[in-house]
């Protein structure tokens, strides 16, 4: 039975990752491929051109967003989205989610922290996501910061306002800490077994 579980532990995550990659590739290829076929005769179309076009467009949009005028157009578009109920919630959630994980990779040390939970004589690992809380002056706390706690094996988590005195920064990379939390510490123990 253990041999079967070991085999499954390799095959299942690999199959899920491959499925996700294939889904992204085919969806991108189909979407942009159909757009290209409006401009290009079918006999000149090569499989993979849609995906390459998708990558090029995303990169090009990223370059355009460095321009002041494009930033103003984006701000105008986002102000319109903000007025649309439900759409603004979905758009904002996706944007914030992508920004959060992008910022996790780019931020320096002292973002990963341990928070004292004195009522249980334990500590919980989280990420400082905001220290500038001037608009929350009404909080009855000494030097509050926002700490995000990722839930294991889930996309979601929750944020808490916590006094700075109750947190301890730890010397751990954000992606390492995220992997540790997402797998409930299992990924770390596996690495230690292999060394």
Question: For 3-58, what is each residue's pLDDT tens digit?
Answer: 877 777 778 878 888 888 888 888 888 888 888 888 888 888 888 888 888 888 88
Give the CA dihedral 129, 134, 137, 139, nearest 10 degrees: 0
- pLDDT for the residue 93: 75
CA distance 34 to 21: 20
- pLDDT for the residue 94: 76
Other beta carbons within 10 angstroms of residue 111's beta carbon come to 20
pTM: 0.51
126 touches 148 (CB < 8 A):
yes
pLDDT tops 80 at residue 110: no
114 touches 166 (CB < 8 A):
no
Domain boundaries, the chain: 2-104, 107-194
**Mean pLDDT over residues 78-98, rounded?**
79
Per CATH, domain 107-194 is 2.30.30: yes
Q: Is 171 helix (H, G, I), strand (E, B) or coil?
A: coil
Distance of CA 28 to the CA centre of its chain: 20
CA distance 29 to 52: 8
Q: Sorting pLDDT into bands at 50, 70 and 90, what band is 103?
A: low
Burial class (CB in 10 A: 0-12, 13-18, 19+), 124: middle
**Mean pLDDT over residues 88-109, rounded?**
68
Weakest mean pLDDT among 11-20, 129-138, 155-164: 129-138
144 touches 133 (CB < 8 A):
yes
Residue with tokens 């103003």: 72
Q: Whole-number mean pLDDT of the chain? A: 79
Residue with tokens 């220290």: 131
């Amino acid at each position: 039975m253990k041999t079967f579980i070991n085999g499954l532990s390799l095959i299942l995550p690999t199959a899920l990752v491959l499925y996700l990659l294939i889904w992204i590739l085919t969806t991108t290829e189909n979407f942009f491929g159909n757009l290209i076929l409006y401009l290009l005769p079918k006999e000149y179309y090569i499989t993979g051109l849609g995906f390459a076009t998708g990558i090029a467009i995303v990169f090009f949009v990223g370059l355009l967003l460095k321009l002041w005028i494009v930033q103003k157009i984006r701000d105008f578009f986002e102000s319109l989205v903000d007025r649309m109920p439900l759409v603004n919630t979905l758009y904002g959630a996706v944007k914030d989610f992508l920004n959060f994980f992008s910022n996790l990779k780019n931020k320096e040390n002292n973002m990963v922290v341990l928070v004292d939970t004195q009522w249980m004589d334990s500590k919980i690992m989280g990420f400082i996501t905001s220290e500038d809380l001037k608009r929350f002056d009404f909080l009855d706390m000494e030097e509050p910061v926002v700490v995000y706690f990722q839930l294991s094996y889930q996309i979601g988590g929750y944020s808490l306002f916590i006094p700075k005195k109750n947190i301890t920064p730890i010397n751990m990379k954000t992606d390492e800490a995220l992997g540790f939390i997402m797998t409930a510490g299992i990924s770390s123990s596996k690495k230690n077994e292999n060394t």
